[in-house]
Amino acid sequence: MKKNINDSIVIKKLKFSYGDNIVLNDIGISLEKGKFYSVIGPNGSGKTTLAKYIAKLVDVQGEKVFVEGEDIKKMSAKVIAKKISCVPQNTSIDYDFSVMDIVLMGRAPYMGRFQSESESDIKIAKRAMDITKVWHLRDKKINQISGGERQRVIIARTITQDTDLMILDEPISNIDIQHQIGLLDTIKNLNKEKNLTVIAILHDLNLAAQYSDEIILMNEGEIISFGRAEAVLTKKNIKNVYNLDVNLIENPMTGKPYIIPIYNQFS
């Protein structure tokens, strides 16, 4: 495949099914380097499966997913780990490592087999923990902290990995509202400062609208709409995909669409 320096991810005719259940149906899309993409859609629409294919967390057939022009099928796990970092939907951890140890695992792709973390590695980890507000938890065991705190620790590990592409699967689902905004602000700042490509699976359509450069709307394994928030988040698309009537107004601070559900009136 001929490289396009502006492309971070290219997907060609990607299909996946469980038996007769089609999860991804002939997906094709190109994502530009340095943009913040939100993936939205109902549960079961294929969002997480698409993210797993991009990160090679499931087996990929050749010439279907390309990262910076290279067939992901041909990449080793270590090479991928230097290019793509992930925050999974399930952040539970079976082993009782310290928070600091968990975050430093993000430096593993850059270390030799028996190499210890350097002072530089620890500084990178500390910065990530500072901006995700978990530095004060560094000596605690990962299973002694709350689910929301653990989510922020996993995001700190992802930042510590220092990749050009970050994939986040429902990164704010277990986090209080102030930390939701804080983390999305942090990720958006990294997106701008480092030209970081971000793919975030979000359920909150209004947050997706405010933070995204472009939105991918999925339903039943297909991409229904792809583009800027005002083009994707239309009354028609939301009704067709979510079976929900809404009003749309312009957010006075950002100029992005703001969605107001129309609730049934009960007497």
Q: Is the pLDDT of residue 267 over 50?
A: no
Q: Is the pLDDT of residue 174 over 80?
A: no
Domain count, the chain: 1
> The domain spanning residue 69 has which CATH number?
3.40.50.300
Residues for the chain: how many in total? 267
Residues 6 or more apart whose CB falls under 8 angstroms from that of 39 comprise: 47, 50, 51, 199, 200, 201, 202, 215, 216, 218
Residue range(s) defining the domain that contains residue 71 = 7-261
* Residue 51 binned pLDDT confidence (cut-offs 50, 70, 90): very high
Is residue 266 a part of any domain in this protein? no
Is residue 267 a part of any domain in this protein? no
Q: Is the pLDDT of residue 179 over 60?
A: yes
Is residue 106 a part of any domain in this protein? yes
The mean per-residue pLDDT over the stretch 158-167 comes to: 96
* Residue 250 binned pLDDT confidence (cut-offs 50, 70, 90): very high
Is residue 141 a part of any domain in this protein? yes
Number of H helices, E strands in the chain: 9, 12
Q: Is the pLDDT of residue 168 over 50?
A: yes
Q: Is the pLDDT of residue 266 over 60?
A: no
Is residue 2 a part of any domain in this protein? no
Is residue 31 a part of any domain in this protein? yes
Q: For 52-66, 70-84, 143-157, which range has the lowest pLDDT when averaged over its residues?
A: 52-66
Q: What is the mean pLDDT of the chain?
A: 91
Per cent of the chain over pLDDT 90 is 72
Is residue 1 a part of any domain in this protein? no
Q: pLDDT tens digits for 128-156?
A: 999 899 999 999 999 999 888 898 999 99
Burial of residue 59 (CB within 10 Å: 0-12, 13-18, 19+) is exposed
pTM (global) more than 0.85: yes
pLDDT value at residue 265: 57
Asked whether the beta carbons of 181 and 202 are under 8 A apart, the reply is no
* Residue 22 binned pLDDT confidence (cut-offs 50, 70, 90): confident
For the four alpha carbons of 88, 200, 78 and 221, in that order, the dihedral sign comes to positive
* Residue 4 binned pLDDT confidence (cut-offs 50, 70, 90): low
Q: pLDDT tens digits for 24-45?
A: 999 999 999 999 999 999 999 9
* Residue 2 binned pLDDT confidence (cut-offs 50, 70, 90): low
Would you call 148 helix, strand, or coil by DSSP?
A: helix
* Residue 58 binned pLDDT confidence (cut-offs 50, 70, 90): confident
Return the higher-pLDDT residue of 166 and 117: 166
What is the per-residue DSSP string for 104-122?
HGGGGGGS-TTPPPPHHHH
Q: Is the pLDDT of residue 184 over 70?
A: yes
